[in-house]
Amino acid sequence: MHGSARPALRAVILARTISLFLSAAGGLLVAPSEARAQVNVEGLRKAFTTPGVHGKLGGSITTYNGNTQGTELGGSALLGYREGHELVYVSTNSNYASFGGDVSVANTFVHFRYNHTVTPLVTAEAFAQGESDRFRRLRLRTLVGIGPRFTLVESDDLVLYYGVSYMFEHTTLGESVSDAPVRPADVHRMNNYAALAFVLDPGRAVLANTLYVQPRFDDLGDIRMLDVLGLDVTITGMLTASLQATLRYESPVPESLKRADLMVKNMLGVTF
């Protein structure tokens, strides 16, 4: 791509991204807000290419007094370590909201991943994850997986990866739906994901999107999908701002729940 065309392309993509986020925010009027956000590590993976410890801490707090009484809290952390062909990182986040004395959001998520670079194009991955979500009737879901990750495109401005892995999943539901589960507690899934990161402004702005598609091996109609779109902007030094949209789809689900969840979130963070 000609050098003079790159700033124009970045500007177009940035404008379209902002438009997409605004459209997603409008979707909150018709979509439930119980989805919990994941930390999109792809936007920070370039930092993990240098040896040593790297990470990001983020948080948000909103309080309401007057006609509306309530509090919204959100926090996330990402910590990674790179040494030679090895990369280890853990990401976690938690969200809580209470209005008028009623809890409307309560969820927690932790993800651990290990990468070993086999060749410049192939990486071996192993991961483990745990999550809980009161309003999805999810007391605890744990999973482990292993598989390869392939580098499809890698340049200074753009990276694109595809990963595929075997995943074992164990789910414990809340008491209100435990008597009518829609699937066995233990299932085996194929985890497919495509991860894209585009540098809009070197050293300042990165757009990243990761799409997960996870069908069940013995029942392809039992599928879980997750798309995480994030824009990370460096304000000054270590201070960053993030805009993130998370769309989740799961089928089947208990009768009292909806298949799709959408959340749009703004956060301030510190990177190191």
| Res 6: pLDDT | 53
Q: CA dist 171 to 106, 112, 129, Å?
A: 17, 18, 12
For residue 104, give the nearest of 40, 36, 29 by alpha carbon.
Answer: 36
The DSSP symbol for 252 reads: S
Q: What pairs with residue 137 in β-bridges?
A: none
Locate all alpha helices (DSSP H) within the chain, ordered by sequence.
5-27
128: tokens are: 């483990």
44 within 8 A of 14, measured Cβ to Cβ: no
| Res 97: pLDDT | 86
234 burial via Cβ count (<10 Å: 0-12, 13-18, 19+)? middle
3-state secondary structure (DSSP) of residue 100? coil
Residues 259-271: tens digit of each pLDDT: 998 878 788 889 8
Query: How many domains does the structure of the chain reveal?
Result: 1
3-state secondary structure (DSSP) of residue 138? strand
Residues 20-34: tens digit of each pLDDT: 443 433 333 333 333
In terms of DSSP bridges, do strands 158-173 and 138-154 run parallel, antiparallel, or are they unpaired?
antiparallel
230 within 8 A of 45, measured Cβ to Cβ: no
164 burial via Cβ count (<10 Å: 0-12, 13-18, 19+)? middle
Q: CA dist 119 to 50, 78, 160, 269, Å?
A: 17, 25, 16, 33
Return the residue matching tokens 């948000």: 60
pTM of the model: 0.77
User: How far from chain centre, in Å, is Cα 116?
Assistant: 21
| Res 25: pLDDT | 37
Read off the CATH number of the domain in which 26 is found: 2.40.160.40
161 within 8 A of 150, measured Cβ to Cβ: yes
| Res 141: pLDDT | 92
Query: Which residue range forms the structural domain that includes residue 243?
Result: 5-271
Ordered per-residue pLDDT tens for the chain, 272 residues? 555 455 555 544 444 544 444 343 333 333 333 334 344 566 556 567 788 998 888 887 777 776 567 888 888 898 999 999 999 999 888 888 888 778 877 889 899 999 999 999 999 999 999 999 887 778 899 999 999 999 999 998 999 999 999 999 999 887 665 556 788 999 999 999 999 999 999 888 999 999 999 999 999 999 999 999 989 899 988 899 988 888 999 999 877 778 998 878 788 889 88
In terms of DSSP bridges, do strands 102-119 and 186-201 run parallel, antiparallel, or are they unpaired?
unpaired
In terms of DSSP bridges, do strands 122-133 and 219-236 run parallel, antiparallel, or are they unpaired?
unpaired
Residues 113-151: tens digit of each pLDDT: 999 999 999 999 999 999 998 877 788 999 999 999 999
d(CA 221, CA 95): 30
d(CA 91, CA 169): 19
